[in-house]
Chains A and B, each alone.
Chain A
Amino acid sequence: MTLSTFILKNAFRNKRRALLSVSSVAVSLFLLVTLQVALRELTLPVESPGAELRVCARNKVSLTNPLPARQRPIIEKIPGVEGVTPFTWFGGQYQNEGAMTFAQFAMDPKETRTVFTDFKLTDAELARFQSEKTAAIIGKISADKYHFKVGDHITLNSTVYPGALEFTIAGIFSGTADDRMMLFHQDYLDDSIGTPGLVGMWWLKVKTAEDMPRVITAINQAFANTAAEVRAESERAFQLGFISMLGNIKTLIASISTVVVFTLVLVTASTMSMAVRERFRELAILKALGFRRRELFVFILAESFGLAVAGAGLGIGAAYCAYTFGNINKMTHGIFVSFEVTPRIMGLAALVAVALGILSALAPALAVARMSVVNGLKTLD
């Protein structure tokens, strides 16, 4: 019998316990991965293509305060600006669904391709979107959810403006960071129920990344000391602003992760101690046969390590499969669109498993090292 088969046989002498230990490690690491992914999704803005060239300009008071439409020509004249579109929150509710289902924004359809480079939309769909006043384009996720087809007419009740608007779906897009939203004509909103002369915010595209800081400063200065001061920032900075608004939720999830890891160490260490205590007598015999403390420590370490790593493989693997192949949008009632298990998070979980394997071997190994052969042989239980 080689050393490795000896360790393997030991680990599975009590199959039930080995299985339970592996499962509890797996469940905990599954949880840890989930929490870490959630934390990452909440604290890391989605990276959308072309974001490095986009600028968001909102009212300095807050995002919910409107901006005057007359600002547009002034922004367009700033050197380095390639395109500008209004971007106005409509807050529409579909049918009688209580909660918000997907976001809708009023914008200038002519600027669809200039400002948003990440839209996957056929030219025919785009042409229809630009030519019909009531036309709207909607992301694939929402279109699938509500079974919208091109040509459908839908009515949305606004929670921000008085009344409802009817839209014609001109196209279904994909490829953006949020394939749920809907875009439609600012003109249509203004002429129907909106407040003409006011827009929600401006989204613009600069020509090169070098232009970005200059354009941002220029916009901020252009409207300083006017009735509607503007805060322009890169799309990334704008997204980070949302994260700051989440407040203490981050701390909450981080603390829960810590508690999960701690509980995991506690329970696994206790299982390992149980396993070792059960064969104190055997270990004493090994000692009597001339095995060194170091070797006994390796036996215990290898076993606990093996259990932890097996659990990690299961837990991390399950999390990866669940979140890569599952429909996370449906599972979280639309709170998360993407739920990406990154290599970094898997690495972190694996690291926790390794540390767990070592930590839980420590206490039983110490007890074995300290035990005298005679006392060990006397142990009954």
Chain B
Amino acid sequence: MALPLKYNFRNVLVRWRATLATMLGIALLVAVYVLVQALAVGLQKSASNTGDPRNVMIVRKGSTAESSSQVSLAQLQTIRYWPQIAHDEQGVPILSADVITLISQPRIDGRGEANVSVRGLTPAGRQLRPQVKLISGRWFTPGQREVTVSGKMARRFAGFQVGDTFRTAGNTLTVVGEFDGGSSAFDSEVWMDADEARSLFDRENYSSLLVRVTDPAAVQAITARIENDKRLPLRSETEVKYYSDQTATALPIRILGNFLATAMSVGAVFAAMNTMYASVGARTREIGTLRVLGFRRRSVLAGFILEGALLAAIGGALGCLLALPLDGYSTGTMSFNSFSETVFEFRITPWLATKGMIFSIIVGVIGSLLPALRASRLPVIAALKSV
């Protein structure tokens, strides 16, 4: 016969003074675990929000970042009229030739500088990226030294407010608007006209091409055609695939997260053990009574493990709640792929919260295993006699 759940639950509550610290400890452990993993999730979300399955990205073969890729004007002319590329109402191919340049900009808090990605795009560029929406001011005018910046970057760098000007490459650029990248990789960019960018940064070539395909089969056709044409030292893949490969920055964050989780959970297991041993010690007579009433050793064992798990689960739930306010909070670091500032958000998904809960329960079960074994092995008569 199993011990009633209520018994364990009430015990956790009655002994709250002794269990509170352990519970809070587990809560903080889970909060840290969830938050660090939320960063990695945020980075991946940012990548997965970026691609459109109908778009194909074309970059130089061998380049790992758009900023180090080059596509020449001749290559652009060759590809522009391929039949696999969709056309708009006016019959113009939906294709954007972009120029990516990194510029070093001072941070808004005055603490040093960081590289910012500036994307120069041709008119179809915005049409190809519908998730990017203007939130204030206006879009840059082609042929003008104007930029529209991501709102998230405007809050991180000096001179990026609407109406501000900043100097780069010997010229002055005016910020005319702010856009929202819809939590995509474009949130980390500054946009301007492609040809302006080429003349400003003295670039002969474009960095990449983004094209809209007519149908899913056309993706294969374009890839095969580029692969077979020896005059084109290029590589193409869907925009979705391209960005999903750009998450190398998440690796160190995951390493940090796993290291923290391991080390902190060892500490938490010790704390849980201490609490549960004390709990068993204080209830020796109670356990004896339970045994006399006919509860089996294994019921007592299960009961105490359940109690430890329960205690940890409450801590885990508390930890998830503690982490929750940071959901959606945006932060930034240097991306190892693009070598520039990448902004992304803490993303606490239901699955991540579940993982946090499972993690806390595992800590609870491991921590209560030995104390529970001890409880189940108490000799009945001696236990009853103890003070």
**Interface residue stretch chosen among A58-66, A112-120, A168-176, A181-189:** A58-66
Contact A24 B270 (CB under 8 A): yes
Task: Decide yes or no whether A321 CB sits under 8 A from chain B.
Answer: no
Report Cα–Cα, A243/B333, bound state, in Å. 10
Q: Indicate if A270 sits at the interface (CB-CB under 8 A).
A: yes
Q: Which of A252, A262, A270 contacts B18 (CB 8 A)?
A: A270
B11 interfacial by beta-carbon distance below 8 Å: no
B385 part of interface (Cβ distance < 8 Å)? no
> Is B101's CB within 8 Å of the partner chain A?
yes
Q: In the complex, which of the residues B20, B67, B102, B251 contacts A270, with contact meaning CB atoms closer than 8 Å?
A: B20
Query: Smallest distance from the beta carbon of A381 to chain B beta carbons, Å?
Result: 6
A374 lies within 8 A of chain B by Cβ: no
Looking at the complex, which of A28-36, A292-300, A348-356 is the stretch in contact with chain B? A28-36
Closest chain B CB from A278 CB (angstroms): 8
- Given A163-B62, A244-B107, A267-B21: A20 in contact with B274 (beta carbons within 8 A): yes
A247 to B157, CA, bound (A): 11
Known: A158-B62, A229-B170. A247 touches B264 (CB 8 A): no
Q: Which residue of A lies closest to B60 (CB)?
A: A162
Known pairs A27-B267, A62-B103; A162 contacts B61 (CB<8 A): yes
Interface string of A253-297 (1 = CB under 8 A from B): 100100110111011011100100010000000000000000000
A21 lies within 8 A of chain B by Cβ: yes
Closest CB-CB distance, B34 to chain A, in whole Å? 12
| Chain A residues near B102 (CB-CB < 8 A) | 61-65
Q: A64-B115, A159-B62 are in contact. Are A91 and B68 (CB under 8 A)?
A: yes
Q: Given A162-B61, A335-B252, check contact A241 B112 (CB 8 Å).
A: yes
Minimum CB–CB distance from A377 to chain B (whole Å) comes to 14
- Closest Cβ of chain B to A256, distance in Å, is 6
Chain B positions 144-180 with a Cβ under 8 Å from a chain A Cβ: 168-170
Contacts of B267 in A (CB 8 A): 24, 27-28, 31, 263-264, 267
- Decide: B114 and A17 in contact? CB cutoff 8 A: no
CB distance from B201 to the nearest CB of A (A): 7
Kindly state the separation between the CA atoms of A274 and B282 in the bound complex, as whole angstroms.
Answer: 11
Q: Given A160-B68, A244-B113, A256-B260, are A17 and B271 neighbors across the interface (CB < 8 Å)?
A: no
Let me know if B271 and A267 touch, CB within 8 A.
yes
- Tell me whether A65 and B274 are in contact (CB under 8 A): no
Beta-carbon contacts under 8 Å, B248-264 to A? 248, 251-252, 255-256, 259-260, 263-264
Give the distance in Å from the alpha carbon of A333 to the alpha carbon of B277 in the complex. 39
Contact of A259 among B32, B68, B113, B274 (CB under 8 A): B32
Known: A61-B103, A335-B255. Is A256-B282 also a contact (CB below 8 A)?
Answer: no
Do B264 and A64 have beta carbons less than 8 Å apart? Answer: no
Measured between alpha carbons, how far is A34 from B25 in the docked complex, in Å? 19
Which residues of the partner chain B approach A160 to less than 8 Å between Cβ atoms?
63, 68
**0/1 interface trace, chain B 97-134, chain A, CB 8 Å (1 if under):** 00001111001000111110000000000000000000
Q: How far is it, in angstroms, between the C-alpha of A333 and the C-alpha of B254 when the chains are bound?
A: 12
B271-313 residues with Cβ-Cβ distance < 8 A to A are: 271, 273-275, 277-278, 281-282
Which residue of B is nearest A381, CB measured?
B282
Instruction: List 23 A–B pairs whose Cβ atoms lie within 8 Å, in order of A's numbering.
Output: A17-B278, A20-B277, A21-B274, A24-B271, A34-B259, A60-B104, A61-B103, A64-B67, A64-B68, A64-B102, A65-B201, A91-B64, A160-B63, A240-B112, A245-B113, A260-B32, A263-B29, A266-B21, A266-B25, A270-B21, A274-B18, A278-B278, A278-B281
Chain A contact residues, CB within 8 Å of chain B: 16-17, 20-21, 23-24, 27-28, 30-31, 34, 38, 60-65, 91, 99-100, 157-160, 162-163, 225-227, 229, 231, 240-241, 243-249, 252-253, 256, 259-260, 262-264, 266-267, 269-271, 274, 278, 332-333, 335, 380-381
Q: Which residue numbers of B lie inside 8 Å of A, CB to CB? A: 18, 20-22, 24-25, 28-29, 31-32, 36, 39, 60-65, 67-68, 70, 101-104, 107, 111-115, 168-170, 201-202, 233, 248, 251-252, 255-256, 259-260, 263-264, 266-267, 270-271, 273-275, 277-278, 281-282, 331-334, 336, 339, 341, 387
10 further A-B pairs in the complex, CB-CB below 8 A; given A60-B169, A160-B63: A27-B264, A30-B263, A31-B264, A60-B104, A62-B102, A158-B62, A159-B63, A240-B112, A241-B112, A244-B114
